[in-house]
Chain A
Amino acid sequence: MAAALNIQKGTSKLSAYDLRDPNADIEERHTLAVIVDNEPGVLARVIGLFSGRGYNIDSLTVAEVDHTGHTSRITIVTTGTPAVIEQIKAQLGRIVPVHEVHDLTVEGPSVERELALFKVKSSGEKRVEALRLADIFRANVVDSTLESFVFEITGTPQKVDAFGELMRPLGLIEMARTGVAALSRGT
């Protein structure tokens, strides 16, 4: 019986067995990679599924990845209880143009990256400090005027968040983020 399993969340991530209690009502963050036919409306189907059934989307990216096979890869970061995450995967799997659904969070180690652009407007010491922090975060300056910079930063969502927090008091006026792209590690 599932109820008998009372295992602390997070202990099982690297276990050979999936020991997470499916009835636990603790919300988890999962990164899903969905391989779909690149046809009109496929993104609307995926988004409609999430909104229609009340699931969360924290991040969503999509692009064609195989030009000859006309397939696209949709990367979705979502949160939900283990039972909801299972439902999300099953519901995605039955969309007709969906070929594969991978849960990168449980299928082993994976890398996640996001690209972001930050426009910072400031002068004097703040301007110098922004540039110094950009250097520490290995952000590139991709546009510059006498009173502003546009920084380009790549990293995990947490790194992008951290950089954004630091830029806020230094004159951050606009930002754009791509959302998460993710791949499993190794072969």
Chain B
Amino acid sequence: MTQMTGAKMVVQALRDQGVEVIFGYPGGAVLPIYDEIFQQNDIQHILVRHEQGAVHMAEGYARSTGKPGVVLVTSGPGATNAVTGITDALMDSIPLVVLTGQVPTFMVGNDAFQEADTVGITRPCTKHNWLVKETDKLSETIHQAFHVATSGRPGPVLIDIPKDVQFATGTYQSARQAGKGHYSPRVKGDLEMITHLVEALETAERPIFYTGGGVINSGDAATQLLRELVDATGFPVTSTLMGLGAYPASGKNWLGMLGMHGLYEANLAMHDCDLMINIGARFDDRITGRVADFSPNSRKAHVDIDPSSINKTIRVDFPIVGDVAHVLEDMLRIWKSRGRKVNKEGLTRWWAQIAEWRKVDCLRYRNSDKIIKPQYALERLEALTKHRTDRYICTEVGQHQMWAAQFLGFEAPNRWMTSGGLGTMGYGLPASIGVQIAHPEALVINVAGEGSWLMNMQEMGTAVQYRAPVKQFILNNERLGMVRQWQSLLHGNRYSHSWSEALPDFVKLAEAFGCKGIKCEDPADLDDAIQEMLAYDGPVIFDCLVEKHENCYPMIPSGEPHNKMLLGDDTGEDAIKAGGAVLV
């Protein structure tokens, strides 16, 4: 049994767990741990500029690698600043281990300097959290935390470590000695239910696969099995925002993203299908629209590792609790053993119907040779970067995020980092740094809006310090575009506080941070400017001045079903009914 201080245990446990990078910010209550970090070289520490940035970086790291992200922050404000990022990770099922310092155990509850009830504050926004009061329990707790964060439905966990526990000496337990506790979510789906689903697959006339972030969280095997199943059955496939890349955008069965700003053909196929196979998605309200009218004539299957996701908003006929890869493996095996049957005639008619919907060409927009349209900027970015297999895209939150999801194609999983569930403005810049730290040679682009980007712009300092050559591609409309769009559609064009009168000069800002700034406002210059950004060996802030009043279409207004989409031609002010105005 090895004796060591709590602070040393933290570093040793991280090493045992294979952690290579942590994102953090020092402070009084974590100084012993920082002292240990100083005296070793196995684990790289990335010094952020704000604790929220640390958590988003860890999220970007985790999403792009499939490994848990690790954060180290101090007590009180360090912990409270991390809360937004932790909540973001919970909503999007991202595995994180957050270590927070705490005031010494004998001062807990005394309103000490920089004390906050961290486990109390983070209880609803973590998958689980711990306050460690004894050094002897510390290493065991850290090992269990990694187990909880990464097994079942992944999520953020937090360990609060009082300063006296860091100083005191105790017995270190290795990951093997610590065990995993009783937490072991079920991964194998019910074979009888899977067989029923396969029977339904064989006869369905209008089937659709509706996939989500769970496929990506399940790992590479799940992606491979999904591709095999989709291609072998010939069924159309659509995906949520979180699941982009699991099935390749160039694949012949790909319908594009679904949901509020999803593609016309994807949403109508969801509405009119007779068999919906939800794999690792959760019937989010951005997907379902009006629940009562959601896909009224279909039988529905739902594969999810979290039993509480099943029948939460949409009743399903084939509930399957299990890990996506395990369930898909069984599904494929059973389907093959039963003779690989599909309803060929039905499928032919179904694809003919989908081809009709595709003719609507729902992403069309009116281009301009005077001003850069945001859609055009993304089309050019796509054209000039899609050959790069090492391209990683992050986004902030808003119109640009939806346009990026519509206009950029993802061929592989873990290449797309966006805040889906929580919709956190300020996510993209730090996330892009986390991705770049994990993949130093890759092309990492953050597609941003100027409003979101300013929320965590301090992290450019981190990018410069660690020479992370992230490309900040800002679609600058000098507006909070999505807010403006909603005000336009349902608040009588009263643009209450949705524009900024004092934006910084982004090129000068880049110079102030010690990186490169590029400004582009003429469509004719755009390609050269993007090439300049790509060629530059270092972080770039790209200020792309775009059309200020462009709306993002297609759009399912809140409170409407899938077959009531607004397309680019619908610009009526009362396009959204009063009932929809109260929904977000």
Contact = CB atoms under 8 A, between A and B. Distances in A.
Nearest to B129: A41
A41 B311 contact: no
A22 B319 CA distance: 14
Given A23-B315, A90-B308, A96 B123 contact: no
A99 interface: yes
A177 interface: no
A93 to B, nearest CB: 6
Contacts of A23: 315
Contact of B123 (A45, A86, A90, A94): A45
Given A41-B131, A48-B124, 11 more contacts: A40-B131, A44-B123, A45-B123, A48-B123, A83-B311, A86-B311, A87-B312, A90-B308, A91-B308, A93-B308, A95-B128
A83 B308 CA distance: 11
A94 B131 contact: no
B182 A90 contact: no
Contacts of B131: 40-41
Interface in B110-169: 119-120, 123-124, 127-129, 131, 148, 152-153
A2 B315 contact: yes
Interface in A79-108: 83, 86-87, 90-91, 93-97, 99
Contacts of A41: 119-120, 123, 129, 131
A52 interface: yes
Nearest to A2: B315
B58 interface: no
A94 B311 CA distance: 15
A87 B315 contact: no
A94 B308 CA distance: 8
15 contacts: A2-B315, A22-B311, A22-B315, A40-B131, A41-B129, A44-B123, A48-B124, A87-B308, A87-B311, A90-B307, A90-B310, A90-B312, A94-B307, A94-B308, A96-B127
Contacts of A94: 152-153, 306-308
Contact of B124 (A2, A52, A87, A93): A52
A48 B121 CA distance: 11
Interface residues of B, number: 21
B156 to A, nearest CB: 12
Contacts of A2: 315
A81 B183 CA distance: 29
Nearest to A22: B315
Nearest to A86: B311
B182 A99 contact: yes
Contacts of B183: 96
A97 B148 CA distance: 11
Nearest to B307: A90
| Residue from the set B148, B183, B317 with the largest chain A CB neighbour count within 10 Å | B183
Contacts of B124: 48, 52
Interface string A39-54: 0110011001000100
A29 to B, nearest CB: 21
A93 B311 contact: no
B306 A96 contact: no
A181 to B, nearest CB: 24
Contacts of B317: 1
Contacts of A22: 311, 315
Interface in A56-98: 83, 86-87, 90-91, 93-97
A93 B307 contact: yes
B291 to A, nearest CB: 12
A1 B296 CA distance: 11
Interface in A16-50: 22-23, 40-41, 44-45, 48
B572 to A, nearest CB: 35
A87 B131 CA distance: 28
Closest 8 A/B residue pairs (Cβ): A90-B308, A96-B128, A90-B307, A91-B308, A2-B315, A96-B183, A52-B124, A48-B124
A44 B122 CA distance: 12
Contact of B148 (A48, A91, A93, A96): A96
| Residue from the set B131, B315, B317 with the largest chain A CB neighbour count within 10 Å | B315
Contacts of B129: 41
A86 B309 CA distance: 11
